[in-house]
Structure 1
Amino acid sequence: MASPGEHASFLPPVLTFLAAAVVGVPVFRWLGQSAVLGYLVAGVLIGPSGLSLIAEPGTAASVAEIGVVLLLFIVGLELHLSQLVSMRRDIFGLGAAQLVLCSLVLGGAGVLAGQPMGAAAVVGIALALSATAVALQLLEERGDLGSPYGSRAFAVLLFQDLSVVGILALMPLAASAGHGTGGPWLGEAAASTGRVLAAIAAAVLVGRYGLNPFFRLLAASGAREVMTAAALLVVLGTAMLMEKVGLSMAMGAFLAGILLAESNFRHQLEADIEPFRGMLLGLFFMSVGMSIDGSLVKAVWPLLFGATFAAILVKVALVAGLFRLFGSDTVSALRGAAVLAPAGEFAFVLLPQAADLGLTGPTATRFAVALAALTMLIGPIMAKGLDRLVDARLSREAHEAAAESPAELAEGAADARVLVIGFGRFGQILTQVLLAEGVPVTVIDKDVAQLRAATRFGFRIYYGDGTRLDVLRAAGIGKAELVCICVDDRDAALKIVDIVHEEFVSVRTFVRAYDRLHAVELMNRDVDYQIRETSESALAFGRAALEGLGLSAEAAAARAEDVRKRDIARLVLQQAGALPDGATWLGGSDSAEVRPEPLTEPVRPARALNAQTRDLLGQDRTEAAERLLAKPVPRPADNGEAEAGVEDDAELEAEGTARDV
C-alpha cells in the first residue's frame, strides 16, 4: 500500500503552479499587460532557469498541451461550416502567403547567418508559424476575435495548423535528400495521407450521426458530472485520434468543435470545458516559460535578443503587408500582424524532430528553441506597445485634423452639448435623432471604420478609449450637458458611468443597457436614464405581429403598453430585492442572472413536440405542466381590462418610468 507521503507527492508541483499563476497574472494585469505575459514570466521564475521549483518541466508541458486542445475545441464550437467556407480566401490565400513568405525570408536570414540550407529552412518554417494560444488569448482579451482583422488572424492560424501535417511529412524527405538516399518516402507519404483522410471521415460520420443521440442519452440520466466527462471524452478522444494519424491534437479538437457546433448541447459543452481550458492554457504558457534555456541566454544574450526582436519585426512587417493586400486597413493590419508575431507551439515539435533527423545540429536546435520561446515572451509586450503607439498616432491625427478645420467649425464643435461614446449600430441610430434636431455632438470610438462612418454626419470626432479619463477630458466632456454611453461592453459601460459620476458630477448619464441584469446594475448607480438595447424594438416587433394577426393598431398598442408597464414594475422590484413569484436571482451578488418569467400567466402548459426536446426539458417540463394545470385558465382580457391592469400597477410604474423610460 502506498504511503500518505507518496499519495501527496503530486501536491508540491501543483501548488507551485497555482501560486505562480495567482501571483504572476494579477501583477501583470495591474501593469496593463496581457495575462499571457504573466504566465510566461511565472514559468521562467519557477523553471530550471529561475528558482528550479519544478523538477520535470517536460511532464508539465505534455499536460499543458491539453489547454491548447481545449482552446481550439471551444473556438470550433463558435464556428459553422458555412463560416469556414466563407473564410476560404483568407485561409488558403492569406494563410498560405503568410507561411511561404515568412518562411522564405526567415530561412534566408538563416542561410546568411551560415546555416546549411536544410537547417535554415526548418528554422525559418518554425519561426514563421504563429502561437495559436497566444494569438487567440490576445484577441479574446481585446474582444476582437470576431472583428475583421481577428477573423483574418484566425484564418492564418487555421491554415498553419493544417499545414503542419505536410511539413512533418516533408521533413524525412529533406533529411533523406540531404544524405543522398531515396527510400520509400513517397509510399509512406501516400499511406499517411490516406490515414488522415480516413480518420477525418470517421470523425465526421460519428459526429454527424452518433454524438447527438449519445448526449441525449446522457442528458436523460440527469447526471451533470457524466456530461462533463463525456465532453472531455469527445474532445480528447478526437484529438488523440488525429495525433495518431499525423495531424495535431489541436486540429483534432477543432474538428470536434466544428462537428458539435450545430448540436443542441453546444452551450452546455462549452460551459463544461471552459474551467479546464483556462487552467490548462495557463499551465501551457508557464511550460513555455520553463523551456527557455537560461544558460544559453546568459552565454549569447546579445545575439539571442537581437535575433528575437529582428524576427518579430520581420514578421510584423510581412504579415501587415499581406493583411493590407487582402483588404485590411493599416491599423487593423498592424494589430493582426502583432498578434501573429510570436513563434508557434509547433516550433517545439518541429525543431526537436529536425534534430533527430539530422537536419539541425544540437547548438542550432537549442538556439532556435530559445528564440521561439523568447518571441512568445516578448511578442505580447510588443503587441501591447504597438497598440499604444497606434492609439496615440490616431489621437494626434484627430487633434491635427480638428486644428486644421475652419475656425467657425472649431468653435461650433467646442460647444457640443452631447458626448456619444460608441458609434456602433446603437449609437448610429441615436445620433440620427440628435442630428435631425441640430444638436451638436461629439463622438468617441476606437473603431477606425466606425469613425470614418461618423465623418459623414458632420460630428466632432475623437479617436480613443472611452473608459479612460484623459480621453474623456480631451473630448470635452466637461462642457457637455449629457453623455450617451452606447458601447456594447457592459463592464466598459459601468466603468465609464463610475468615472463620470466621480469626476463630472454635473454631466447627466444616459446609458445603453446590455440586458436586464445590466439595467439593474445601472439603476443601482443612479444613472439618469437607461434602456435595454432590445426592449423597445422587441415591443414594437410584438405590436406589429399583433397587427399582422388582425388586431387593430389601438388594441395592439394597448397590449404592448401593458407589457411595458408590467416589465418596468418587475424591474423596479428586482432592483429593490422584492421579487415577484418566479423572477428569482440566480447565483451570488457578483454573478447573478435573471431567469426569464412570463409577465402574463400562460393559458396552457408547455408541450415538447419531439423526443429530443422532451429529453432536454426533463423533469422541469413536467413540474411546470403540473403547476399550470392546477391553476384556473384566465380569460384573455379585452382592451378595457388591459388598461385596468395598467392602473393597478400605477404606483410601481411611476417609479419605474423615472428610472427606465
Structure 2
Amino acid sequence: MHDISLISTIALALSAALAFGLLAKRVGLSPIVGYLVAGVLIGPHTPGVVGDLKIAGQLAEMGVILLMFGVGLHFSLKELLAVRSIAVPGAIGQSAVATLACTGLAVAVGWTWQTGLILGLAVSIASTVVLLRVLMDHGSVNTPEGHASIGWLIVQDIIAVLVLVLLPPLAATAGDGVSLWQTMGIALLKLALLTAIVLLAGARFVPWLLLRVARLRSRELFTLTILVMAICVATVSYVAFGASMALGAFLGGMVVGQSKVSEEAAADLLPMRNVFTVLFFVSVGMLFDYRVLLESPALIAGVLAIVLLVTPLAAFTIVIAGGHSLRTGLTIAGGLAQIGEFSFIVGDMATSLRLLPGTGRNVLVGAAIVSISLNPFIFRGVLSLEPRLAKWPLLARWLAGRGQKLGARANEAMAHRTEDPGAIVVGYGPVGQTVTRLLTEFGINPMIIETNVDAVLELQQRGQQALFGDATRKEILRAAGLESAAYVVVTVPRAEISLRIVQAAREVAPVVRILTRAEYINGSEAFMRAGAAIIRYDEAESAAALAEALLQDIDVPADRIDALVGGIRKELSPARDGRKMEL
C-alpha cells in the first residue's frame, strides 16, 4: 500500500480547520481561533485521531514562507512614512514596554531574564490579520486612526524581522561576551549583503521577468513564477546566508511588490497563501500541550495580562502623550490587544534554537487563542470609552493643548507653500476624500482643512496640502488661501457647522463658488442666504440611492432607472440651485 501520510495529514488538517473555522465564525470569533483549536484536537496531546507532526511542521514552514512573502509584497514604505511620527516611536515604545514586562514576569516565575526577553519579544507583536479584520468590521481601514494602526503593525513586522535575524547568532554564542557581538555583527553583514543582492539585483531582474511572463497570458506560468520566487529566495537565504526562510521570503515579496504586475501577483498567490496559512495555524495548534497551562497558571495569566492590559495601556499612553487624537489612541490600543502569526514564528524559531522552552511556545498558543477570541469584543468596548474619556477635564485639556501644538507646527509648514490652492476642501471624511481625489484627477490643486491633527499630519507627509483648524474661523480660511481659490467644498455633515463655514467663506471671498453638503432639505433657504451656490442634501441623496437599489433589485431597465432616479432628485431639490461645477 502506498504511503499517503502527506495526503492524509493535509486532508485531516484542512477538514478539521474547515469544521472549526466555520464554528468559530458562527459564534462570532475569528476563524484563526477555529484553526488553532482544530490543531489542538488532532495533535498528539489530545485523544483521538492524530496527524503527522513532522509533515505538519514542514507544511507550516511553507505557510510561513508564503505568509511572509505576502507581507513583503504588501509592504509599503510610502504608507509607513506617511504615519512615521506616530507609528515608529509608538511601536518601538510599546514593544519595549511589553518585552520588559514579560521579562519581569519570566524572572518572577523562575526563568532566566534572557529567556524572558525572547518570550517578551514574541508577546509584543500583534497579529496583522486580526487587526485588519477588526478595522474592516468597523469601517476604520481608510481613516487616519486606521492608517496609524496599520503603520504601527508595519513597524512591528520590521522588529519581528530583525529578531529573526538576531536569534541564530544569539543561539550560536549562548549570549556570551565578545563572541556574541562578533557573531551578531557577521549576521548583520550577511543580512546587508542578502538585502543588497535581493533588492538591488532583484529590482532589475524580477520585474523584467514578471512582465514578460505576464505577456505570455498563461496564468499557470505566472503563478508558478511567483511561487518559485517565494520558495527559492527563501531557500537561498537559508542555505547561502544562514538567514531564516521567513526573512528571505519577506525580501522576495518586497522585490515582487516593485513590479508593475504586483497586484496580479498578489491575487494569484492569495488562494495558495490562504491554504498554507491555515495549515500553519493548525500545525501551531498541534504543538500545543494544554497540560502546560495547568502546570504554569501564573505564567499564562501573566502573559494574558500583558497582552490584554499592559500592551493596550502602553500604546494608548504613548499616542496620547504625543498629542494625537483620543480616537487614534483607542483604535490602536484595542487593535493591539492580541497576538498571532508573528508571535508563533518568533516562538517556533526560538524553541528550535533552544532559546525558549516548550512551555513558552505553549503559553504563546494559549494566549493567542484567548486574545484573538476576545479581541473583537475588546475593540468595541475600548472604542465605546471615547465619549466618557472625552469628558475628563484633565485629559481634554491635555489633548487640546498637545493637538494645538502639533497643529501649529503643521500649519507653519503650510505657511511656506509655493503654490496657491485651486479649491478648499473642508473635512476629510469619506466625502472629503472623494472630492479631493476628483479635484486632483482633474488638475485642480486642493487645500484640505481638517480638525483631526493626525489626518493633517498624514496628508502633509504624503505631499498633500492640509491645514489644521476650525474652518468657521476666518483666519483659518485666509491661511488656507481662500482668497485665491476658485471653489470651496464643504463636506462636514452637521448643518449648523456647515452653515457657519459657508457664511465665513462668503465674507472672506465674496466671489468664490461654494459647494456644500447639508443634512435636510428644509435647511436649504438658510444655506442659499449664506451664499452657497450648490447644495447637496443627505436626505435627498439617500432617497435617490434607496430608490435606485430597489429598482435594480426588481429588474427595471437601466435607462428607466436613470430617468426615475433623476426625477426623484429633481423633485426633492429646492427651486433654486446653482449650475454644476465644471471640471
Report the TM-score range of the alignment, normalised by the length of the smaller protein. 0.5 to 0.7
Superposed counterparts of 1:371-386, under 5 Å: 371-386=363-378
Q: What corresponds to 2:320 in structure 1?
A: 324
> Which of 184, 199, 205 is the matching residue for 1:210?
205
CA contact (8 A) 1:77 1:270 kept: yes
> Which of 372, 380, 385 is the matching residue for 1:388?
380
Aligned mates of 1:391, 1:351 — CA distance in 2: 31
> In structure 2, what residue type is equivalent to 1:656?
D
2:194 corresponds to 1:195: no
2:234 corresponds to 1:239: yes
Q: What corresponds to 1:293 in structure 2?
A: 289
Aligned mates of 1:323, 1:107 — CA distance in 2: 24
Q: What corresponds to 1:657 in structure 2?
A: 563
Q: Deviations over 1:325-353 (max 9, x none)?
A: 44543343343234434345455565576
> Structure 1 residues 336, 54: CA separation in 2 closer, same or farther (over 3 Å shift)?
farther
> Which of 101, 108, 117 is the matching residue for 1:112?
108
Q: What corresponds to 2:30 in structure 1?
A: 34
Q: What corresponds to 1:617 in structure 2?
A: none
Q: What corresponds to 1:336 in structure 2?
A: 332
Q: Deviations over 1:439-475 (max 9, x none)?
A: xxxxxxxxx999x995864489xxxxxxxxxxxxxxx
2:553 corresponds to 1:525: yes
Q: Aligned-pair distance for 1:77?
A: 3.5
Aligned mates of 1:54, 1:218 — CA distance in 2: 42
Aligned mates of 2:18, 2:348 — CA distance in 1: 32
Aligned-partner SS, 2:174? helix
Q: Aligned-pair distance for 1:164?
A: 0.8
CA contact (8 A) 1:320 1:334 kept: yes
> Which of 94, 97, 102 is the matching residue for 1:98?
94
CA contact (8 A) 2:40 2:286 kept: yes
Q: Aligned-pair distance for 1:276?
A: 0.8
Aligned length: 440
Runs of 4+, deviation exceeding 6 Å: 355-358, 395-399, 426-429
Superposed counterparts of 1:571-586, under 5 Å: none
Superposed counterparts of 1:121-520, under 5 Å: 121-136=117-132, 138-139=134-135, 144-146=140-142, 147-165=146-164, 167-168=166-167, 171-172=170-171, 175-177=174-176, 182=177, 184-244=179-239, 245-300=241-296, 302-312=297-307, 313-326=309-322, 328-343=324-339, 345=341, 347-348=343-344, 365-393=357-385, 424-425=430-431, 457-458=495-496, 509-511=543-545
Q: Aligned-pair distance for 1:373?
A: 0.9
Aligned mates of 2:211, 2:430 — CA distance in 1: 40
Q: Percent identical across equivalent pairs?
A: 24
> In structure 1, what residue type is equivalent to 2:14?
L
Q: Aligned-pair distance for 1:357?
A: 7.0
> Structure 1 residues 170, 380: CA separation in 2 closer, same or farther (over 3 Å shift)?
same
Q: Aligned-pair distance for 1:138?
A: 4.9
> Structure 1 residues 14, 153: CA separation in 2 closer, same or farther (over 3 Å shift)?
same
Superposed counterparts of 1:533-544, under 5 Å: none
Q: Aligned-pair distance for 1:304?
A: 4.8
Q: Deviations over 1:72-128 (max 9, x none)?
A: 433443444433444554564233222222212221222233333333333333323
Q: Deviations over 1:346-395 (max 9, x none)?
A: 555655766677766xxxx2332221111211112232121232354458
> Structure 1 residues 54, 31: CA separation in 2 closer, same or farther (over 3 Å shift)?
same
Range that drifts further, 260-269 or 385-394: 385-394
Q: Aligned-pair distance for 1:265?
A: 1.4
Aligned mates of 2:354, 2:64 — CA distance in 1: 29
CA contact (8 A) 1:161 1:251 kept: no
Aligned mates of 1:262, 1:572 — CA distance in 2: 45
> Structure 1 residues 209, 357: CA separation in 2 closer, same or farther (over 3 Å shift)?
closer
Aligned mates of 2:354, 2:157 — CA distance in 1: 29
CA contact (8 A) 1:324 1:333 kept: yes
Q: Aligned-pair distance for 1:228?
A: 0.6
Q: Aligned-pair distance for 1:226?
A: 0.8
> Structure 1 residues 343, 222: CA separation in 2 closer, same or farther (over 3 Å shift)?
closer
CA contact (8 A) 1:64 1:283 kept: yes
> In structure 2, what residue type is equivalent to 1:658?
L
CA contact (8 A) 1:165 1:246 kept: no
> In structure 1, what residue type is equivalent to 2:336?
L
Aligned mates of 2:75, 2:344 — CA distance in 1: 28
Q: What corresponds to 1:580 in structure 2?
A: none
> Structure 1 residues 322, 67: CA separation in 2 closer, same or farther (over 3 Å shift)?
farther
Aligned mates of 2:350, 2:380 — CA distance in 1: 39
CA contact (8 A) 2:75 2:254 kept: yes
> In structure 2, what residue type is equivalent to 1:657?
A
Q: What corresponds to 1:22 in structure 2?
A: 18
> Structure 1 residues 130, 253: CA separation in 2 closer, same or farther (over 3 Å shift)?
same
> Structure 1 residues 424, 174: CA separation in 2 closer, same or farther (over 3 Å shift)?
same
Aligned mates of 1:355, 1:56 — CA distance in 2: 19
CA contact (8 A) 1:43 1:285 kept: yes
CA contact (8 A) 1:91 1:158 kept: no
Q: Rg bigger for which structure?
A: 1
Aligned mates of 2:88, 2:195 — CA distance in 1: 19
Aligned-partner SS, 2:545? strand
Aligned-partner SS, 1:321? helix
TM-score (norm 1): 0.57
Q: Deviations over 1:191-246 (max 9, x none)?
A: 22221111111111333211232123323433221111001111222233344435
Q: Aligned-pair distance for 1:151?
A: 2.2
Q: Aligned-pair distance for 1:166?
A: 5.3
CA contact (8 A) 1:338 1:379 kept: no
CA contact (8 A) 1:77 1:266 kept: yes
Q: Deviations over 1:26-66 (max 9, x none)?
A: 22222222222222222222223334433333432332343
> Structure 1 residues 339, 351: CA separation in 2 closer, same or farther (over 3 Å shift)?
same
Aligned mates of 1:358, 1:37 — CA distance in 2: 27
Q: Deviations over 1:471-509 (max 9, x none)?
A: xxxxxxxxx999xxxxxxxxxxxxxxxxxxxxxxxx974
Task: Give unpaired runs (5+ residues) of structure 2.
Answer: 392-427, 436-453, 457-469, 471-490, 499-519, 523-540, 568-583
Aligned mates of 2:92, 2:16 — CA distance in 1: 38
Q: Aligned-pair distance for 1:657?
A: 1.3
> In structure 1, what residue type is equivalent to 2:430?
G
Q: Aligned-pair distance for 1:658?
A: 1.2
> Structure 1 residues 320, 307: CA separation in 2 closer, same or farther (over 3 Å shift)?
same
> Structure 1 residues 372, 56: CA separation in 2 closer, same or farther (over 3 Å shift)?
same
Aligned mates of 1:76, 1:357 — CA distance in 2: 25
TM-score (norm 2): 0.64
Aligned-partner SS, 1:511? helix
Aligned mates of 2:322, 2:50 — CA distance in 1: 45
Superposed counterparts of 1:586-597, under 5 Å: none
